[in-house]
Amino acid sequence: MQLRYNYRMYPDAQQRVALAHAFGCARVVFNDALRTRQEAREQGLPYISDGDLSKQVITRAKATPERAWLGQVSAVILQQALADLNMAYRNFFASMVGIRKGPKVASPKFRSKKDARQAVRFTKNARFTVTESGRLRLPKIGDVPVRWSRSLPSEPSSVTVIKDSAGRYFASFVVDAADRPLPETDSEIGIDLGLTHFAVTSDGRKVSNPRILRRAARKLRKANKALSRKQNASANRAKAKLKVAKAYAKMTDTRRDWAHKLSTTLIRENQTVYVEDLAVSGLARTKLATSVHDAGWSQFTAMLEYKAARYGRHFARIDRWFPSSKLCSTCGTIATSMPLASRSWMCGCGVTHDRDINAAINILAAGQAERRNDCGARPGPGHVPAPREEAVTRRKSHVRQAGMDVNAPGLRST
């Protein structure tokens, strides 16, 4: 499994200037390559291959007076900028024909020097190293001090230098991390995610929602007001803008740290974890949008998923249309309606349910049934109707079904 390990960097003034120059060179190469392909498409010319594009926007560009300064940075970061563009095009083409799952991917956009986040990537070809004193040696930048909060599990294959909106620098290493299975346990758990309580488990535990954005709202409001009063393009406005960015960065780091601790605890204590597949993008368009974004459900479930894979646990998502709240976990009866304001309800069998705990119990039962049942029948504690069709395995060939050539530009692997 490949993981990313992030560490804080502390470059000096001269190194910050060199990094700013590297960010700009990578951005210019990306934009030149994107502009070249767009112009070729508008003129009806064939799709420019990756090799020809590299010769045009890097090799030949360095020989011109307008782009001669591209030779002052490592050639690897320029090639990686082109690799990012090629990957963006491949994702766009794959999304168009239905190969890539998830939301539709738009065509590549030009990069701006005003973006809050700037980054360059060094691969092994750049020969970056970690010195004996613990500094990160980057070509044509120098030895940058790094705060090593933990040791790397293996030799990194690449490092990405990132500058965020708060002006902080990070070194992000990609390493091959071996799986570390934990001792097996018989505990299985279902988790119902919510807003009043962030997580309610099938064993009755309720984890309070930290509401990190709500707690920081007063400080953020004050910082944004101060920013709005500053004159445009002034030094004081730049300082106020940085203060706002730092406040948001602190809030983001707090939420991530909290989600890491909770997800690690749940993975260590349980052999199997089931959660409901929530439509976060849909909920974010309702009047609860601020609270939904503040909760960070997607980030939390993503942490559960990769930690389960690394530590030998099982993780699964339950269909979002499964009536976990309206289904009685005792008799299997489904209530006709369940308003959001109803936090407890009584079933016809005489059992009174806590809405969230009952949902967590049903999520656990649904997950256990899906692991045993490959036919797609609706799981539940009561009588279950038989599936209409038998489970079969069909070979999928989305590219050929779409009538496209698998060797078309943008679909070839590099």
Known catalytic residues are 192, 276, 356
Instruction: Determine which helix (DSSP H) or strand (DSSP E) holds 139, and give its type and residue range.
Output: none
Cα dihedral 356, 361, 367, 373 sign: negative
> What whole-number distance in Å separates Cα of residue 274 and Cα of residue 266?
11
Q: Are 271 and 183 in contact (CB under 8 A)?
A: no
| Contacts (Cβ under 8 Å, ≥6 apart) of 147 | 7, 8, 9, 10
C-alpha dist (Å) from residue 229 to 224, 232, 244: 9, 9, 13
> What whole-number distance in Å separates Cα of residue 164 and Cα of residue 245?
9
Residue 113's DSSP bridge partners are: none
Pairing state between β 344-346 and 352-354: antiparallel
Would you list the DSSP string of 389-412?
S--------HHHHTT--TTSTTTS
Q: Are 118 and 23 in contact (CB under 8 A)?
A: yes
Cα dihedral 349, 378, 298, 267 sign: positive
Pairing state between β 188-193 and 272-276: parallel
Tokens of 194: 């919510």
C-alpha dist (Å) from residue 29 to 46, 70, 143, 337: 21, 9, 25, 57
